[in-house]
Amino acid sequence: MALDTNRKTATLYRMVMPGHLCPYGLKSKDLLERQGFAVEDHHLTTRAETDAFKREHGVDTTPQTFIDGERIGGYDALRKHFGQEVKEKGETTYRPVIAIFSVALLMGLAVSWYVFGTIFTIQALEWFIAISMCVLAIQKLQDVESFSTMFLNYDLLARRWVRYGYVYPFAEALAGILMIAGALMWIAVPVALFIGTVGAVSVFKAVYIDKRELKCACVGGASNVPLGFVSLTENLMMIAMAIWMPVRMAWGG
């Protein structure tokens, strides 16, 4: 391909095969172009060609980027070269929780706008909490086995009755769905109050009394979210909803 001689140039080797197009190669090319580089894009079109390239340069993976004759490395190395954050494997992060709560809040506000024509309603807050419960339950239900294993690290009831770790995400989803619908509160309220109370006590004991450093199962068994404030908030939200919903209904709200 013709390169613009007035631009900085980089050389990229990436796998482009009939049955496999390397996503990190595409990301590397995009990143280089966004950084103002003209990319000399070399395609490795066969497994033999790829293996030969790896042997020649003494590398284990592709893509590989070269700038000014210096090998930078793969996509993560390229991001580091440009001073961008690279998440390390197993690194703790609050991003999944921030994403879940942010989208759940916006969904609650959106439903309020659709139903009432305004976002400033008590129901918007109710929907936010109920939707958060459902989304968090979905995260757990993706891999119940993995969730239940992590849950056993700190939940007091699950340690006495292991099957509770399998029941919990279904119970959370059920309570959240019923609260969104405003139906069958005689089921939703006790379920949310029970699992929320047990969860809050368990998290408080593990983190603030026993001072244990654990990963939170609140967003699933593959979570790198630290156990503590987030999980405690999830449980306190369920408790608050379980108390508030009957009160509001009694007031005729």
Residue-wise pLDDT tens digits, 113-158: 999 999 989 999 999 999 999 999 999 999 999 999 988 988 999 9
At 76-124, the pLDDT tens digits run 999 999 988 776 665 667 788 889 999 999 999 999 999 999 998 999 9
For position 156, what pLDDT does the model report? 93
Asked if residue 53 and residue 146 are part of one domain, the reply reads no
Asked if residue 99 and residue 75 are part of one domain, the reply reads no
Of the candidates 28, 10, 15, 14, the residue with the CA atom closest to the CA atom of residue 69:
10
- Residue 89 covered by a domain: no
Domain boundary among 25, 58, 81: 81
Asked if residue 171 and residue 70 are part of one domain, the reply reads no
The dihedral built from the CA positions of residue 50, 55, 57 and 61, taken in this order, carries a sign that is positive
Asked if residue 135 and residue 110 are part of one domain, the reply reads yes
Residue with more model confidence, 32 or 226:
32
- Residue 90 covered by a domain: no
Asked if residue 75 and residue 137 are part of one domain, the reply reads no
Query: What CA–CA distance (Å, rounded) separates 97 from 218?
Result: 9
Residue with more model confidence, 123 or 3:
123
Asked if residue 105 and residue 65 are part of one domain, the reply reads no
Asked if residue 140 and residue 66 are part of one domain, the reply reads no
7: pLDDT strictly greater than 90: no
Q: What is the 3-state secondary structure (H, E, C) of 73-126?
A: ECHHHHHHHCCCCCCCCCCCCCHHHHHHHHHHHHHHHHHHHHHHCCCCCHHHHH
Tell me the residue range of the domain where 154 lies: 95-250
Residues in contact with 207: Cβ distance below 8 Å, sequence separation at least 6, in sequence order? 214, 227, 228, 232
Domain boundary among 81, 109, 128: 81
Domain boundary among 46, 81, 116: 81
At 161-203, the pLDDT tens digits run 999 999 999 999 999 999 999 889 999 999 999 999 999 999 9
For position 91, what pLDDT does the model report? 63
Asked if residue 133 and residue 73 are part of one domain, the reply reads no
For position 227, what pLDDT does the model report? 74
Provide the number of structural domains found in the chain. 2
pTM of the model: 0.77
- Residue 1 covered by a domain: no
- Residue 231 pLDDT grade (very low, low, confident, very high; cuts 50, 70, 90): confident
- Residue 75 covered by a domain: yes
Indicate the average pLDDT of the chain. Answer: 88
At 42-59, the pLDDT tens digits run 999 999 999 999 999 999
253: pLDDT strictly greater than 60: no
Asked if residue 143 and residue 116 are part of one domain, the reply reads yes
Asked if residue 74 and residue 141 are part of one domain, the reply reads no
DSSP H helical segments within 142-228, as ranges?
144-151, 156-160, 164-181, 185-204
Residue with more model confidence, 160 or 234:
160
